[in-house]
Amino acid sequence: MNEPALPPLPERPAEEVARDAASAPGIAGVDDTGVPRLVGDLDDIGRGFLSALFDLTFTRFITRRLASVFYLVGLVAIGIAFIATFLWGLISGIGSLGWNLGGGIALILSTLIVVPVVAFLAVVVLRFVIESGVALVAIAENTERTAANTEHD
């Protein structure tokens, strides 16, 4: 029987990494695995939200912080609309079978096909719009950092 190969040991012990990370800018220490914890934009996601929300100069962006919330709310809205439209289409189709057999069958089949496709496309469009907004903010932040780090002659 072949034994699985063990992963290689790290090049440096965790204590050494912790010592080096303590003096590095942008790092707030090391967890017990030796992985440095970041500080700054990633660490400050929950901090200063209200001050950023009411920043009249628009120097701080809240788009990245709210993107997941908007996506979740959008998914819930799409899910509710999907269930309501799907049930309405099936109930209406079944109800119309008695007086218009062809129309009822067409409504049921179109509900089974069209409603899931439209819901899927709505999720894709929602994701695209939110990703576009986040990418635009990332471009603005990176441009601001580049401008700040560019030497002025």
- pLDDT value of position 43: 47
Whole-number pLDDT of residue 130: 94
Q: How far apart are the C-alpha atoms of 113 and 123, rounded to whole Å?
A: 16
The SS3 assignment for 29 reads strand
Percentages helix, strand, coil for the chain, rounded to the nearest 5?
A: 65, 5, 30
* pTM exceeds 0.85: no
Is pLDDT at 45 greater than 70 in this prediction? no
Rounded to whole angstroms, how far apart are CA atoms 110 and 118?
11
| Lookup result for tokens 């050494």 | 16
User: How far is 28 from 41, CA to CA, in rounded Å?
Assistant: 13
Confidence category of residue 8, pLDDT binned at 50, 70, 90: confident
**pLDDT band at residue 38 under the 50/70/90 scheme:** low
Can you give the pLDDT at residue 29? 53
- Could you tell me the two tokens for 51? 């001050």
- Count CB atoms within 10 A of the CB of residue 122: 17
Does position 17 have pLDDT exceeding 70, yes or no? no
Taking Cα atoms as reference points, which of 31, 45, 59, 16 lies closest to residue 148? 59
CA torsion sign for 14, 18, 20, 24 is positive
